[in-house]
Amino acid sequence: MFAETCSAWLELRNVGAVPAEIPRPAHVPERCDLAIVGGGIVGLAVARELIGRNPRASVCVLEREAEIASHQTSHNSGVIHAGVYYEPGSLKARLCVEGARELYAYCEQRGIAHERCGKVIVASDSSELGRLERLERLGTANGVPGLRRIDARGIEQLEPHARGIAGLHSPDTGIVDFAAVARSYAHDVREAGATVAAGCGVETVSAAGRSLRLGHTRGVIEAGHAVFCAGAWADRLAVRAGADPDPRIVPFRGAYLRLVPERRELVRSLIYPVPDPSLPFLGVHLTRHSDGEVLVGPTALMVGARDAYRVAKIRPHDLLDTLAWSGTWRMLARWWRTGVTELRHAALRSAFVAAAARYVPELRVDDVRPAFAGVRAQALARDGRLVEDFVFSHTERALHVRNAPSPAATSSLAIARRVADEAERAFALRH
């Protein structure tokens, strides 16, 4: 029922090509019914969903950076995940499968470049077979379309340069530029009459009678309700709004290499290793992008700034937040060996390439050049657990997206629906 309403609304709002950039509004309103803090793919999807349901509401998206989608949304693998990895019944499992389906439909309607190119997960030796079987069970339980087991020959047929003893093929996994998707969401939001205000970092959150007062870098806005979708800064804003400090966001930098053009033929679509099931990261993979580039990565290194696009960047406040969190030390006690491996990958290009050469043996250090890095906003619980699932919570008059790591970009439309449902329940929204 909702899908029909949504697609009818999409058709009505079909505006064609994605604009290159979102113009900065001359002024930011002083009042609105709904404020969305954070102009990444999640915040913009939430704004779009809320205004679609409440067409008479005044909605304002406040984004700190000069451009929307400046952080995780534009620094990632660009993979539309199919839902293989996640515990059945978890939010990730449900929202990824639904979100991928909706995202493909959205991209088709809007003419956003994407490709359902499929992916192969490769088991390199017999020690990985049990984990591969587990992935097959999870993917099947989650309803991942077309997922099937393949043997060594099957791997080579799909990816002639990959080698392994067994694999999984997910034909429904695809690629897209998530920043282009976010720009399209922003366009929808503005077309529906809402404001998208960039250069507007929210600094204070306080109660003001029957509304929330948000102090930002360009003034103050009073909002009836707010949804915070601030990625790597989600915990700080939640605490300012009165929420529990647990979980805290700890930044994990993910650096990529890219294949030189003459070696791109080593990869047809997407090749992944079998990941360690106790970590929320998928391991160094090889991904073809919508622009033809082939990336190797990402690493997963805990860093000293929530925007550590350069590995050496340290922000004392961020570092202190990480070090003062008891969960950090509990996590390090458990995962120090993995931490050392990640350090090697970050420091030694040969070690990084060797991780991918396990399943594409022809890959050599000379085949790669440095590419970009992203910083994952990963929630870390006080007990040292890297929080796997998406986490949403609320305080008075506000909802908080507290953990939206991968596959949140894939799942953005389904997350938005879930947040809007929650907002209706918690705040009895009707505009």
Ligand X SMILES: Cc1cc2nc3c(=O)[nH]c(=O)nc-3n(C[C@H](O)[C@H](O)[C@H](O)COP(=O)(O)OP(=O)(O)OC[C@H]3O[C@@H](n4cnc5c(N)ncnc54)[C@H](O)[C@@H]3O)c2cc1C
Q: Interface residues with ligand X (CB under 6 A)? A: 37-43, 62-65, 70-73, 75-79, 81, 201-202, 229-233, 237, 254, 298, 374-377, 404-410
Of all helices (H) and strands (E), which one includes residue 2? helix 2-12
User: Least CB distance from residue 339 to ligand X, whole Å?
Assistant: 17
User: Least CB distance from residue 423 to ligand X, whole Å?
Assistant: 16
Give the residue closest to ligand X by C-beta. 40
Residue 261 CB partners (closer than 8 Å, separation 6+): none
Cβ distance to ligand X smaller for residue 43 or 52 = 43
User: Least CB distance from residue 118 to ligand X, whole Å?
Assistant: 14
Cβ distance to ligand X smaller for residue 62 or 147 = 62
Nearest to 308, CA basis, from 254, 382, 354: 254
Question: How far apart, in Å, are the Cα atoms of 331 and each of 138, 278, 375?
Answer: 25, 12, 18
Beta strands of 281-355 (E only): which ranges? 285-288, 294-297, 301-302
**Total length of the chain:** 431
User: Least CB distance from residue 78 to ligand X, whole Å?
Assistant: 6
Asked if 382 and 392 touch (Cβ cutoff 8 Å), the reply is no
Cβ distance to ligand X smaller for residue 73 or 322 = 73
Nearest to 271, CA basis, from 139, 151, 148, 119: 119
Cβ distance to ligand X smaller for residue 229 or 266 = 229
User: Least CB distance from residue 236 to ligand X, whole Å?
Assistant: 7
Cβ distance to ligand X smaller for residue 143 or 201 = 201
Burial status of residue 394 (CB atoms within 10 A of its CB: 0-12, 13-18, 19 or more): buried
User: Least CB distance from residue 284 to ligand X, whole Å?
Assistant: 11
Nearest to 48, CA basis, from 391, 349, 414: 414
Cβ distance to ligand X smaller for residue 233 or 325 = 233
Asked if 375 and 254 touch (Cβ cutoff 8 Å), the reply is yes
